């Protein structure tokens, strides 16, 4: 890490903890320590509820889930609004009227002390196990960034959280959660913008969405009913409704948040905010995973994203032919993806349909190669049912490669159509280094540029190109249409009137049907 990275990391940790402790002044009674004197505003409770449910697992694992399986996971939250309405109508008024400190105190009043004890023990065991996983996920991130052992980063994070929680009580926890969620929202936006900006310059945002959809990564809704399918609209509406009823209505980690509200109305607002905001947030996170998938269409990822296991099997004789097959499969998929984008631009429906089939077959070759590598890990002493999904969002090789690129060669993409990129430009070595050969001059480094300006220019240019191409497909602009800000505004208005039809994955036909409307 560079000095600036250390400054940001330490300053954010210190400011979050310090601000939480500052806002918790006066928590010197049981009521103020556990319930903040019932004085919290709805927005603080809402963000704290969201932060309590979300964790590093949400942002690391969910993006990886979308990378390998598409956006179907968002359906697991479809029952959340229904559950929140029921809780607001029934549970919240009861807890506020009885003046309880915990959900389990109400059980004692309603039944007896044994019932309260049983429910409390179950909660503590469940939350203890859950907290271990919740802390371990960011501990993995810090261990990769800092190069420290995972045990050290786990102890460091756990000690920090326990310290400010014990000292400041629920107020410190709530206001710290507010800041953390603001940082998380900002991080999500930066992650998406970065992913789009690092695409080859001739691949627009519209191309990225199209390619993700053609590979089945935009399958946000699946209506097929199957006992073997965990994520579909039926499990989302039925199973998750009862799951969230129990979680937000009975779990003390959530109940304590809305017990701190100034009134029943404030507590209800905090829950209804989550009912409205949680699904779009989850959709956004999964969409980032889909864009990461498109990113790795053109920049060769490692065959396995878990570096420790990959390093272990690389010396084995069975790995080398497997790596060669993976390199060949990646190059094939890259060429087919470029050809598909070209056919899509040309409006040739017959060629596009043929390229889509080839594109999906090429993706299956990649999946098969990764599956063989995973089986090799298991067969040589690795964990059973090995999966590297949680590590996909943590790989740094491609970003490091992009950081070393020469600016001149990145501009080379701007002078070529997607279909004109030659195969040698993306020749990879199997370790994610192909991007260097694709974009960098030999031994060259890019000159120092204002990062914010270059990144913003790249993203705006990509979005403009994507909107223009969608406008051409929708018939609201001709192929040689005018340029400039006024033309872009006309494009946006025309798209809103005409709607855009973007092809999606194999399971769901057209997910982004008439997206302009």
Q: What is the CATH number of the domain that holds 282?
A: 1.20.1730.10
Tell whether 401 is covered by a domain.
no
**Domain assignment present for 120:** yes
Final residue of a structural domain among 250, 273, 295 = 295
In-domain check, residue 245:
yes
Beta bridge partners of 512: 502
Residue 154 within any structural domain of the chain: yes
- For residues 322 and 319, give the distance between their C-alpha atoms in angstroms, rounded to a whole number: 5
Task: Please state whether beta strands 501-502 and 512-513 pair in parallel, antiparallel, or not at all (unpaired).
Answer: antiparallel
List of residues 6+ apart from 245 with CB closer than 8 A: 83, 86, 87
Is 328 inside any structural domain? no
Dist CA 387 CA 378 (whole Å): 10
Q: Which of 273, 295, 317 is the last residue of a domain?
A: 295
Residue count of the chain:
517
Q: Residue 219 is inside which H or E element, if any?
A: none
Per-residue pLDDT of the chain (517 residues; tens, 9 = 90+): 788 888 988 888 888 888 888 888 888 899 999 999 999 999 999 999 999 888 777 888 889 999 999 999 999 999 999 999 999 999 999 999 999 999 999 999 999 999 999 999 999 998 888 888 888 878 888 887 888 888 899 998 888 888 888 988 999 999 999 988 998 899 899 999 999 999 888 888 999 999 999 999 999 998 888 888 888 899 899 999 999 999 999 999 999 999 999 999 999 999 999 999 999 999 999 999 999 999 999 999 999 998 889 999 998 989 999 999 999 999 999 999 999 999 998 888 899 999 999 999 999 999 999 999 999 999 988 888 898 888 888 765 555 445 444 333 333 333 333 333 333 333 333 333 333 333 333 333 433 444 444 444 454 455 555 545 554 554 444 444 444 444 444 444 443 343 333 333 333 333 333 333 3
Residue 315 burial by Cβ neighbours in a 10 Å radius (0-12, 13-18, 19+): exposed
Give whole-number Cα distances, 121 to 13, 128, 507, in Å.
32, 10, 43
How far is 53 from 73, CA to CA, in rounded Å? 16
Single out the residue in 236, 271, 295 at which a domain terminates: 295
Instruction: Characterize 347-381 residue by residue with b for buried, 16 or more Cβ atoms within 10 angstroms of its Cβ, and e for exposed.
Output: eeeeebeebbebbbebbebbeebbebbbebbeeee
The domain total for the chain is 2
Inside any domain, residue 148: yes
Calculate the alpha carbon distances from 497 to 359, 464, 515 in Å: 31, 18, 11
264 in a structural domain = yes
Domain range for 226: 3-295
- The values of phi and psi at residue 59, to 5°, are -90, -20
Residue 418 in any domain: the answer is no
């Amino acid at each position: 890490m560079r000095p600036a990275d250390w400054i940001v990391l330490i300053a954010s940790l210190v400011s979050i903890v310090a601000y939480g402790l500052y806002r918790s002044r006066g928590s010197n009674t049981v009521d103020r320590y556990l319930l903040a004197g019932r004085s919290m505003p709805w927005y603080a409770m809402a963000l704290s509820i969201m932060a309590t449910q979300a964790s590093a697992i949400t942002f690391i694992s969910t993006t990886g889930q979308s990378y390998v399986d598409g956006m179907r996971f968002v359906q697991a939250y479809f029952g959340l609004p229904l559950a929140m309405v029921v809780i607001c109508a029934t549970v919240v008024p009861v807890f506020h009227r009885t003046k309880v400190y915990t959900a389990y105190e109400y059980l004692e009043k309603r039944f007896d002390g044994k019932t309260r004890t049983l429910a409390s023990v179950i909660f503590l065991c469940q939350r203890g196990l859950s907290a271990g996983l919740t802390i371990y996920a960011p501990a993995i991130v810090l261990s990769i960034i800092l190069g420290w052992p995972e045990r050290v980063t786990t102890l460091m994070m756990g000690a920090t959280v326990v310290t400010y929680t014990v000292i400041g009580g629920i107020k410190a926890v709530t206001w710290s959660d507010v800041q953390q969620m603001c940082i998380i929202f900002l991080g999500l936006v930066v992650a998406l913008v970065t992913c789009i900006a690092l695409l080859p310059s001739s691949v627009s945002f519209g191309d990225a969405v199209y390619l993700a959809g053609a590979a089945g990564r935009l399958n946000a809704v699946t209506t097929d009913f199957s006992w073997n399918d965990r994520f579909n609209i039926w499990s989302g509406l039925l199973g998750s409704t009862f799951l969230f009823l129990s979680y937000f209505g009975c779990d003390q980690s959530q109940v304590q948040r809305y017990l701190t509200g100034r009134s029943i109305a404030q507590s209800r607002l905090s829950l209804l905010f989550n009912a409205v905001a949680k699904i779009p947030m989850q959709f956004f996170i999964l969409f980032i995973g889909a864009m990461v998938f498109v990113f790795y269409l053109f920049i060769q990822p490692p065959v396995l994203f878990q570096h420790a296991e990959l390093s272990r099997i690389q010396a084995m004789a069975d790995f080398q032919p497997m790596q060669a097959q993976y390199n060949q499969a990646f190059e094939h998929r890259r060429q087919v993806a470029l050809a598909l984008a070209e056919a899509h631009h040309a409006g040739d429906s017959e060629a596009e349909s043929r390229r889509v089939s080839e594109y999906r077959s090429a993706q299956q070759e990649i999946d098969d190669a990764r599956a063989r590598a995973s089986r090799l890990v298991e067969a040589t002493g690795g964990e059973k049912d090995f999966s590297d999904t949680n590590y996909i969002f943590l790989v740094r090789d491609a970003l490091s490669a992009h950081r070393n690129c020469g600016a001149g060669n990145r501009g080379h993409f701007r002078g070529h159509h997607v279909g004109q990129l030659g195969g040698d430009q993306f020749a990879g070595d199997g370790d994610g280094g192909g991007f260097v050969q694709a974009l960098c001059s030999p031994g060259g480094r890019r000159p120092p540029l204002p990062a914010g300006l270059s990144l913003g220019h790249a993203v705006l240019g990509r979005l403009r190109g994507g909107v223009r191409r969608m406008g051409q497909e929708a018939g609201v602009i001709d192929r040689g249409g005018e340029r400039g800000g006024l033309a872009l505004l006309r494009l946006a208005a025309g798209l809103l009137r005409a709607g855009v039809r973007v092809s999606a994955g194999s399971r769901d036909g057209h997910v982004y049907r008439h997206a302009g409307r």
